[in-house]
Chains A and B, each alone.
Chain A
Amino acid sequence: NAGVTQTPKFQVLKTGQSMTLQCAQDMNHEYMSWYRQDPGMGLRLIHYSVGAGITDQGEVPNGYNVSRSTTEDFPLRLLSAAPSQTSVYFCASSYLGNYEQYFGPGTRLTVT
């Protein structure tokens, strides 16, 4: 199993540009989520999904959209990038139940 994969690893955007961060998992997990990590802070939840076709907002959803058309994929869209969205983004997945969440390697995004 590849686990949780994220692309790209690094990205530089100009203010106002849009892009999609990709996340995929091959473990047939029901739950998937996106987090951002800012310097000196822990991860904060952006959006999450409990299954295909079901998404909900987390703690810091503004400026981001998600959709979940398949169990495997959970892309995160930045609609109009802002410097405040400069961060490291982590995708994660888990089974129903609270036993463990599997994290991807992260995408380092810089918005200039």
Chain B
Amino acid sequence: GNSVTQMEGPVTLSEEAFLTINCTYTATGYPSLFWYVQYPGEGLQLLLKATKADDKGSNKGFEATYRKETTSFHLEKGSVQVSDSAVYFCALLDAGKSTFGDGTTLTVKP
């Protein structure tokens, strides 16, 4: 079956630091890949997506590239802000079903 593995957290950074959250996947089909963000007590917000190999998703300074050769979709941001503190989930979508990683909690300190 499909699976998604995220780097274990939590991650604590200072403001303006560089962020990388690793995500690798296994899939039998041709999935799309996603990063979602979740703030405390709230639902999921789509952060970015990529629907095929070598696509780059980007939004609000975050980027991730769909790498089929390494089955990865790592999330990066060049300069994090305190407001980026949240839980980040990597996920794949295949045949109408999503498979999620366990989430990475990011805390950004001023």
Contact = CB atoms under 8 A, between A and B. Distances in A.
Interface of A: 30-33, 35, 40-45, 48, 50, 58, 90, 92, 94, 96, 98-101, 103-106
Interface of B: 4, 30-32, 34, 43-44, 46, 49, 51, 89, 91, 93-103
28 contacts: A33-B96, A35-B98, A35-B100, A40-B102, A42-B91, A42-B102, A42-B103, A43-B91, A43-B98, A43-B100, A44-B100, A50-B95, A58-B97, A90-B43, A92-B98, A94-B93, A98-B30, A98-B32, A98-B51, A98-B95, A99-B49, A99-B51, A100-B32, A100-B34, A101-B34, A101-B96, A103-B43, A105-B43
Main secondary structure of the interface of B (DSSP, over half): strand
Contacts of B100: 35, 42-44
A43 B6 CA distance: 13
Nearest to A33: B97
Contacts of A96: 96
Given A98-B32, A99-B32, A100-B32, A40 B97 contact: no
- B4, B30, B89 — which one has the most chain A CB atoms within 10 A of its CB? B89
B96 A100 contact: no
Nearest to A32: B96
A57 to B, nearest CB: 11
A51 B4 CA distance: 26
B44 A98 contact: no
B96 A30 contact: yes
A94 B89 contact: no
Nearest to B89: A42
Contacts of A33: 96-98
Contact of A90 (B31, B44, B94): B44
Contact of B49 (A40, A42, A100): A100
B8 to A, nearest CB: 11
B41 to A, nearest CB: 9
